[in-house]
Chain A
Amino acid sequence: RKEVEQDPGPFNVPEGATVAFNCTYSNSASQSFFWYRQDCRKEPKLLMSVYSSGNEDGRFTAQLNRASQYISLLIRDSKLSDSATYLCVVIGMTYNQGGKLIFGQGTELSVKP
């Protein structure tokens, strides 16, 4: 089983749609969680961190369910510019965890006019 697994995608949605991405992680001791965005042929960039209480940034809402080891990202009112691959990221738990990110394989989103 992969340490971090995401919806396989791709997701093709019309502008204005609401879309949700799901991610599960295998290590129950993991402490830090993130969503990164990667545009085609570009580097990943941090979209938002994910907190236990959930957090929202404009049209984006991230949720964490520790009991189910599940992370979600909700995008409301999708824009064409939201088209990208969304990467679920978990901080790996080994010695001195120090920023060792473990990436899911990514879920591609394509927003159409």
Chain B
Amino acid sequence: DADVTQTPRNRITKTGKRIMLECSQTKGHDRMYWYRQDPGLGLRLIYYSFDVKDINKGEISDGYSVSRQAQAKFSLSLESAIPNQTALYFCATSDSRAGETQYFGPGTRLLVL
């Protein structure tokens, strides 16, 4: 089984809809991250969390919110989706006791029409 899982893997939604992307990990890591990837722009950090209930804005947090209710889960919400939020979204985890390597989930492809 994968250590970092994301659901759904693919999603098509309409402008204005609220959607939630889920991330779960079995690695026991304390830190979790959400990124989006767009062609030619690389990965950009949306939000990150160093522990349960700890939430920090990343580079591009506008239009997004997150929840970290348990160490193993970190969810990303788009309150009112817009077309320029069409992207590939990755969740990642890291262990603060074991260096800075981040482990990524398989990604969620989101299309906002």
Tell me if B42 and A99 are in contact (CB < 8 A).
Answer: no
Contact string, A91-104, partner B, CB cutoff 8 A, digits 1/0?
Answer: 10000001111111
Tell me if B42 and A106 are in contact (CB < 8 A).
Answer: yes
Give residues 67-113 of A contacting B (CB, 8 Å). 87, 91, 98-106
Tell me if B90 and A99 are in contact (CB < 8 A).
Answer: no
List residues of A whose CB falls within 8 A of some B CB: 4, 32, 34, 41-46, 49, 87, 91, 98-106
**Does residue B100 face the partner (Cβ distance < 8 Å to A)?**
yes
Contacts of A102 in B (CB 8 A): 45
Known contacts A43-B105, A43-B106; can you find 8 more A-B pairs with CB under 8 A? A34-B101, A41-B107, A43-B90, A44-B43, A44-B90, A87-B42, A100-B58, A103-B42
Query: How many residues of B are in contact with the other chain, CB < 8 A?
Result: 22
Instruction: Give the Cβ gap from B36 to chain A, nearest Cβ, in Å.
Output: 11
List residues of B whose CB falls within 8 A of some A CB: 31, 33, 35, 40-45, 48, 50, 58, 90, 94, 96, 100-102, 104-107
Instruction: Give the Cβ gap from B32 to chain A, nearest Cβ, in Å.
Output: 10
Complex: A104 Cα to B101 Cα, angstroms: 16
Q: Given A32, A34, A43, A104, which contacts B42 in the complex, CB threshold below 8 Å?
A: A104
Contacts of A32 in B (CB 8 A): 100
Contacts of A43 in B (CB 8 A): 90, 104-107
Complex: A103 Cα to B102 Cα, angstroms: 12
Question: Can you pick out 30 interface pairs between chain A and chain B where the beta carbons lie within 8 Å of each other?
Answer: A4-B42, A32-B100, A34-B100, A34-B101, A41-B107, A42-B106, A42-B107, A43-B104, A43-B105, A43-B106, A44-B43, A45-B104, A46-B101, A46-B102, A49-B101, A87-B42, A87-B43, A98-B96, A99-B102, A100-B45, A101-B43, A101-B45, A101-B100, A101-B102, A103-B35, A103-B42, A104-B42, A105-B40, A105-B41, A106-B42
